[in-house]
Structure formats: C-alpha cells, structure tokens
Homo-oligomer: A and B are copies of this chain.
C-alpha cells in the first residue's frame, strides 16, 4: 500500500492524464528557447565525449546524470570536474549507474556556476483548483518539500487565472513575498514570466527550477530543469513528440509502450486485463481482497477491439511470473463478442496453456460467453461475476 504522498503518481498519471517527462538537458534546451538563462552545456553518452565536451566548454564543469527521477545528487549522479580528465572519469562512473531503477544512459556536461544563493521556482498544474500554480522560494536547493512543511512562509504561492494569464504584478508579488534578494529581483521577475509563458506555450503540466541560482556575476540562472508535458497536447508540439522515448528497462513495459497498451508492472502472479481504468483498478483490489497478488495493471481501453486484445495478451503472456490470467470486461462501447474473438485469436497465435479466467458483462454478453464456451480451449473458464472470477483466479494461481 502506498504511503508516500508521491506513491500514486505513476498510476494516476497513467489512468488520468499521461505525461511526457523530459530529461534535465531537454528541459534546459526548452528553457533557453524561451529566454530563461541556463548554463551552456552538452549532452554526451560516452566518457570520451564527456572529455571532449569539457574541453570545449572550458574551466570547471559539472557532470550530471540524465535520469527521469529525483535524488540523483545523493546517489552520486552529479560531480564537479576541474579538468577534462576528471570529467571523463566521472562520466565513466555515472554512465550505466542505476538510480532508483533508472539506468543512466547519458550525462549533461555544463559550465560550473558560482552560486551566491539558491532559490526555487515552479509552475504546476494544480488539479484541485484547475488552475496553474506558481511557486517561488528564497530557500531553494535540495528539499523544497521540507521547506513547505517546516517553513511555509518561505514559499510564496499564487494561482493564475488561465484566461487573463500571469502578469508582471504577479511576478513582483511573488518575488517580494518569497523574500528574494533585492539584486536578484528583476532577474527572477523576468524568469517567472518566461517560465509561465513556456508552461502555457508548451502545454506543460510542470516546470520546476530547483535550484534557481543567483550568481556571483549578478545573473539569475536555471541550474536544473524538470519539465513534464501533457500527452494529450503533443499533437500540437511535433518537436516534443520526438523527445518521447522509452525510459523503462522492464521488458513488458517496453513491449506495452511499443504496442500502445496501457500497462504497469506489479510484483504479483495474477495477470490482469480489463477495460476502463476504474474497473481495472477495482479488479486489482478485488484480487488482493481474495488473497492474490496482481501481476500488473492493464487497461485495454474503452472500445477494445480484437486486435487490441491480442496485443494486450501478448504483453501479459510474455511475463514469466504470470501464473494465471484474469480477464474482466464490462462492455459499454466495448462489445463482449469482439473481446471473445480477440481472446481466441490470441490464444491460437500465442499457444498459451496457463489457466485463464474470463468474466464478460455488458454489451453482447450472451454472444461473448457463448463464443468462449463453444470454442475456447479447456484452460479458459468463464465466471459469472467479477468477485467469483477474482476468487477463481487466485485459487488457480495458488494451486499451480
């Protein structure tokens, strides 16, 4: 059971609004295009290229692991290099590193900055208010959540009316109330306005700069960049579409991405296929209540056709941990006869012998059940209710 506040993030985003998470270096490139100052740098994927980049940039550089997860600093994924030699050595250590199940495939080499002060700035979509929320703090650095908890006064927050937008006076109010140093104020005001413009122009759900630094030369610069984009809006950002690369190292998740199946791996042995995110989540819960352990979340979607059922089953059957399949369909747009036919096709094609428990309800349910009872092999059993189907699947998983 998830206990951390961030615990449900992954499934929530998968079921209720998928997002494209960008790497730091991609975020910084977007920032630069929107007029937000960032240190100059290069992205590389070998130690040798890291050395060459450090030579070109000159002086002290920072070698930063590119992973789409927080905490890389503590994990040793960020290192200062005074020479190209050091840069190469650090890159060698960092490339291939495993940071919270994310393998580092590339590092960003950038000019080191002389930091006078670290701030925090972000624009987020606030789901509760259904508005963008801008946050600013003079207490930037590692753990802004801690600042929010222990010293909320240090975090200035402001919701924005999406129709009239984020205006100069909003930026000023934030800067004064976050306690930004006087010399950095106009730089921060300007960055906040650019950040909001980038947030709306790019259909972003999050743009976070932590730390936003005030440098010895008096500039305000984004030293990190966390950017996520609303997948629903990618059609109007063809350049961002190209950034949408697979970031999972799990074979089933990778296969699901390739086939366009909404899939999340869990650690149980009851493979689950359902239609509609709510029903699938409910199926996981019912399996757990019956004493079993779900192997995955898999939503075949609202209007599942035979092809989609085949693709979904291919993903599930490729997982050696799965001992039994539970197929739970309530047809609205989805038609049960199409699901049944898809199942037969898949079984035929994949030669699956593991036990499969099927529950079919809704549109064309009689036809669907008839197809299975007449044509399906013996390892396929039909149960009349969701609860009984889950119980049967759990029994079978334990029994095998």
* Neighbouring B residues of A164 by C-beta, 8 Å: 163
* Neighbouring B residues of A163 by C-beta, 8 Å: 163-164
Give the distance in Å from the alpha carbon of A163 to the alpha carbon of B163 in the complex.
6
CB distance from A223 to the nearest CB of B (A): 32
Give A154-175 interface residues, CB cut-off 8 Å to B. 163-164
Interface residue total, chain A, C-beta cutoff 8 A: 2
Give the distance in Å from the alpha carbon of A164 to the alpha carbon of B163 in the complex.
7
Give the distance in Å from the alpha carbon of A330 to the alpha carbon of B163 in the complex.
43
CB distance from A83 to the nearest CB of B (A): 47
Give the distance in Å from the alpha carbon of A163 to the alpha carbon of B164 in the complex.
7
Q: A163 — nearest CB in chain B belongs to which residue?
A: B163
Give the distance in Å from the alpha carbon of A302 to the alpha carbon of B214 in the complex.
44
Interface flags for A132-167 (1: CB within 8 Å of B; 0: not) read: 000000000000000000000000000000011000
Q: A164 — nearest CB in chain B belongs to which residue?
A: B163
CB distance from A32 to the nearest CB of B (A): 24
Q: How many copies does the complex hold?
A: 2
Give A330-354 interface residues, CB cut-off 8 Å to B. none
Give the distance in Å from the alpha carbon of A182 to the alpha carbon of B163 in the complex.
34
Give the distance in Å from the alpha carbon of A163 to the alpha carbon of B161 in the complex.
11
CB distance from A193 to the nearest CB of B (A): 15
Give the distance in Å from the alpha carbon of A163 to the alpha carbon of B162 in the complex.
10
Give the distance in Å from the alpha carbon of A164 to the alpha carbon of B164 in the complex.
9
Give the distance in Å from the alpha carbon of A373 to the alpha carbon of B97 in the complex.
93
CB distance from A166 to the nearest CB of B (A): 14
CB distance from A131 to the nearest CB of B (A): 15
Q: A165 — nearest CB in chain B belongs to which residue?
A: B163
CB distance from A164 to the nearest CB of B (A): 7
Q: A161 — nearest CB in chain B belongs to which residue?
A: B163
CB distance from A200 to the nearest CB of B (A): 14
Give A279-324 interface residues, CB cut-off 8 Å to B. none
Give the distance in Å from the alpha carbon of A59 to the alpha carbon of B272 in the complex.
71
Give the distance in Å from the alpha carbon of A135 to the alpha carbon of B163 in the complex.
25
Give the distance in Å from the alpha carbon of A103 to the alpha carbon of B163 in the complex.
46
CB distance from A352 to the nearest CB of B (A): 48
CB distance from A97 to the nearest CB of B (A): 48
Give the distance in Å from the alpha carbon of A30 to the alpha carbon of B357 in the complex.
66
CB distance from A163 to the nearest CB of B (A): 5
CB distance from A347 to the nearest CB of B (A): 47
Give the distance in Å from the alpha carbon of A164 to the alpha carbon of B161 in the complex.
12
Give the distance in Å from the alpha carbon of A172 to the alpha carbon of B347 in the complex.
50
Give the distance in Å from the alpha carbon of A117 to the alpha carbon of B164 in the complex.
40
Give the distance in Å from the alpha carbon of A230 to the alpha carbon of B164 in the complex.
21
Give the distance in Å from the alpha carbon of A275 to the alpha carbon of B164 in the complex.
37
Give the distance in Å from the alpha carbon of A143 to the alpha carbon of B14 in the complex.
58
Give the distance in Å from the alpha carbon of A238 to the alpha carbon of B164 in the complex.
25
CB distance from A319 to the nearest CB of B (A): 45
Give the distance in Å from the alpha carbon of A174 to the alpha carbon of B164 in the complex.
26
Give the distance in Å from the alpha carbon of A164 to the alpha carbon of B165 in the complex.
12
CB distance from A280 to the nearest CB of B (A): 36
Give the distance in Å from the alpha carbon of A105 to the alpha carbon of B164 in the complex.
44
Give A56-79 interface residues, CB cut-off 8 Å to B. none
Can you offer 2 A-B residue contacts whose CB atoms are under 8 A?
A163-B163, A163-B164
Closest 2 CB pairs of A and B: A163-B163, A163-B164
